Structure 1
Amino acid sequence: MFKSILLVGLALAASLVVKAKPDIVFATGNYMQGYYYRCEELDYQVCYTWGSLLFNVKSFTFTNYDFPDHKDFSITVYDGPSCNNYYDRWSFKQSDDGKDTIAGWFSLPGVYSFKIANFMTSEVHHGKIGMADSTRNPHCWCE
């Protein structure tokens, strides 16, 4: 009996994984020019990849609708397919109600994968990480 209650509790806890509320829109040109790829319902601290789909993206915009629950956000983009190799990272802290949008453009020649986080971290341009991560395909579409 105790084991079945424990298993039901663990299953319920697993179903309550926090999804990120922000939309992330990637663009194929600097300053959000060109074609857009919109991504929604992303988990924090998960490596998302499309293989070559993100190869031509050059910029992004990131909107926080989840204030005040998550005031701190970060996004990291990688030129490796498993959140590895060279990367750029931005963080921001929202200080008031209402949506907050940040935009950035990449120093990388191509972007193959990305992660979002609900905490502040250091801003990095063209950093290097060697360790690969397990990946998932995001829920994104071209606009």
Structure 2
Amino acid sequence: MVQEFRDFIAKGNVMDMAVGIIVGAAFTAIVSSLVADLINPVIALFTGGIDFSGWFYALNGESYASLSAAQEAGAPVFAIGNFLMAVINFFIIAFVVFLLVKMVNRIKAAAEAPDDVAPEVETGPSELDVLLEIRDALKR
């Protein structure tokens, strides 16, 4: 079983996947910062100062000053703003992954294309064609 596990780990796909997960985790932090620090303030500017991260609804009917205050009080809440931030994060990540896949496909296509395509040079008739013409001429 240890040998089988070692063979599994030694495969290139497993290492590629591990690198992808690590880079993805770091990328998630960047996207979260992008949404929280750059996109949300712009959205708040256009929506009259609404901060999505503080948008919540307490299910127990009481009002709280902030989402963290409601959570500390143990109130059940719909954290609508957090959900919207997660959706925005998803769309940003999906768009960036789309661009990366598009770029990789373009690079693969360029690598698979032949570098120098030799133009077809028209030459005269082949040797066989000349011999056939001579045969036909001798028959006449």
TM-score (norm 1): 0.21
* Larger Rg, first or second structure (1 or 2): 2
Instruction: Give the number of the structure with larger relative contact order, counting CA–CA contacts within 8 Å between residues 6 or more apart.
Output: 1
- TM norm structure 2: 0.21
- Structure with the larger helix share: 2
